[in-house]
C-alpha cells in the first residue's frame, strides 16, 4: 500500500474507496492507489476511474510490478525527472542520530514558508512562486508540519511531513546544492522524528529516491517495498 491509502486527504480533495482501489481526486489531478485486483481487471478499473475523473491527469502508485506493467500497456508512463519510475518505501522506528551544528526551526510564518518553497523549487527545478499563497493555505490544513534547517544563520534545507494514525510520512524536502554534506538532511529527519514522538506515534515512513536512499539506511531506516509510480495525461 502507499501513503494515500492511510493519510487524511488534503483540503479540497475527495476520496473514493472501493474494495479494489482508492482514488484521491483534487481540482487539478488525481491519485489511484491501494490496488487490490488481478492485472486482467486493470482495463475495467481504469474505465471506472475515468468516469469519475474524466478530464484530470491521473497518477498511480503501487507496490505490485505486475499491475505497473499492465497499466503501462494502457497508456501510463514514467513520471518526468527528477522523479524516477520507482522509489523505495522505508520505515524508521528508532530515533535517528542528531546533527550537531545545524539549527532546525518549524515553519509557522508565511515568510519562512516562502523560504522553504524556494529551497524545494531550487532542488527540484520547479517554479511555484505564483502559487505560493494557495500552497500555504493548503498545507496549513493538513496534519504534520514543515521545517527549515539553518547553518550559520542561513536556511539551507527544507523538510515536510504529513501525520497519519501510526506515524509521520516524510512528504518532501531538499538541501541547496552548495550546502550539502553538512548534516542538514539528517537534522530534518531527526526533527520530524521528535515531532512523531511528541504526537505519540514514533514512526517515520518515506518513499526514497536513489539519492536519499543510502542516507536514510545509514540513519537506521529499513526497506519495506519497491513502489512504482506512473502517470497518465488527461
Residue 163 maps to which CATH number?
3.40.630.30
pLDDT in tens, 167-215: 999 998 899 999 999 999 999 999 999 999 999 999 999 999 888 899 9
225 belongs to a structural domain: no
Domain end (from 52, 86, 120): 86
Rounded Cα gap, residues 15 and 17, in angstroms: 6
CA distances from 205 to 62, 66, 85 (A): 16, 24, 19
Domain end (from 30, 63, 86): 86
Residue 26: its pLDDT value, please? 83
Q: Looking at 57-203, which runs of residues are DSSP E strands?
A: 58-62, 86-92, 103-106, 144-151, 154-163, 168-175
Does 102 lie in the same domain as 12?
Answer: no
Does 98 lie in the same domain as 79?
Answer: no
Structural contact between residues 183 and 102, judged by C-beta atoms closer than 8 angstroms: yes
Residue 192: its pLDDT value, please? 98
Domain end (from 35, 51, 86): 86
For residue 119, name the pLDDT band (cuts at 50, 70, 90). Answer: very high
Does 119 lie in the same domain as 60?
Answer: no
For residue 35, name the pLDDT band (cuts at 50, 70, 90). Answer: very high
Does 69 lie in the same domain as 18?
Answer: yes
pLDDT(82) > 80: no
Does 106 lie in the same domain as 60?
Answer: no
Does 190 lie in the same domain as 107?
Answer: yes
102 belongs to a structural domain: yes
Residue 100: its pLDDT value, please? 92
pLDDT in tens, 121-141: 999 888 899 999 999 998 998
pLDDT(47) > 90: yes
Average pLDDT, the chain: 93
Does 112 lie in the same domain as 175?
Answer: yes
Angle ∠(216,221,222) on CA atoms, nearest 5:
120
Pairing verdict, β 22-25 and 30-33? antiparallel
pLDDT(12) > 60: yes
Residue 2: its pLDDT value, please? 66
Identify the weakest region by mean pLDDT among 79-88, 105-114, 135-144.
79-88
223 belongs to a structural domain: no
228 CB contacts (<8 Å, ≥6 apart)? 60, 61, 62, 63, 64, 65, 67, 68, 85, 86
Domain count, the chain: 2
Domain that holds residue 145: 94-202
Does 101 lie in the same domain as 42?
Answer: no
Amino acid at each position: 500500500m502507499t501513503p494515500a491509502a492511510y493519510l487524511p486527504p488534503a483540503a479540497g480533495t475527495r476520496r473514493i474507496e472501493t474494495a479494489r482501489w482508492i482514488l484521491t481526486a483534487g481540482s487539478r489531478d488525481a491519485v489511484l492507489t491501494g490496488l487490490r485486483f488481478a492485472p486482467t481487471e486493470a482495463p475495467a478499473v481504469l474505465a471506472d476511474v475515468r468516469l469519475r475523473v474524466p478530464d484530470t491527469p491521473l497518477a498511480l502508485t503501487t507496490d505490485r510490478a505486475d499491475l505497473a506493467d499492465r497499466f503501462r500497456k494502457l497508456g501510463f508512463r514514467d513520471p518526468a525527472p527528477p522523479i524516477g519510475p520507482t522509489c523505495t518505501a522505508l520505515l524508521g522506528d528508532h530515533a535517528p542520530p542528531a546533527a550537531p551544528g545545524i539549527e532546525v526551526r518549524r515553519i509557522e510564518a508565511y515568510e519562512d514558508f516562502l523560504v522553504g518553497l524556494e529551497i524545494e523549487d531550487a532542488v527540484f527545478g520547479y517554479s511555484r512562486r505564483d502559487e505560493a499563497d494557495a500552497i500555504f493555505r493548503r498545507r496549513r490544513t493538513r496534519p504534520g508540519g514543515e521545517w527549515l534547517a539553518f547553518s550559520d544563520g542561513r536556511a539551507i534545507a527544507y523538510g515536510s511531513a504529513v501525520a497519519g494514525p501510526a506515524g509521520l510520512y516524510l512528504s518532501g524536502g531538499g538541501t541547496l546544492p552548495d550546502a550539502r554534506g553538512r548534516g542538514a538532511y539528517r537534522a530534518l529527519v531527526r526533527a520530524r522524528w521528535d515531532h512523531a514522538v511528541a504526537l505519540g506515534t514514533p514512526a517515520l515512513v518515506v518513499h526514497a529516491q536513489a539519492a536519499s536512499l543510502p542516507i536514510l539506511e545509514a540513519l537506521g531506516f529499513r526497506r519495506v517495498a519497491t513502489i512504482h509510480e506512473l502517470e497518465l495525461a488527461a
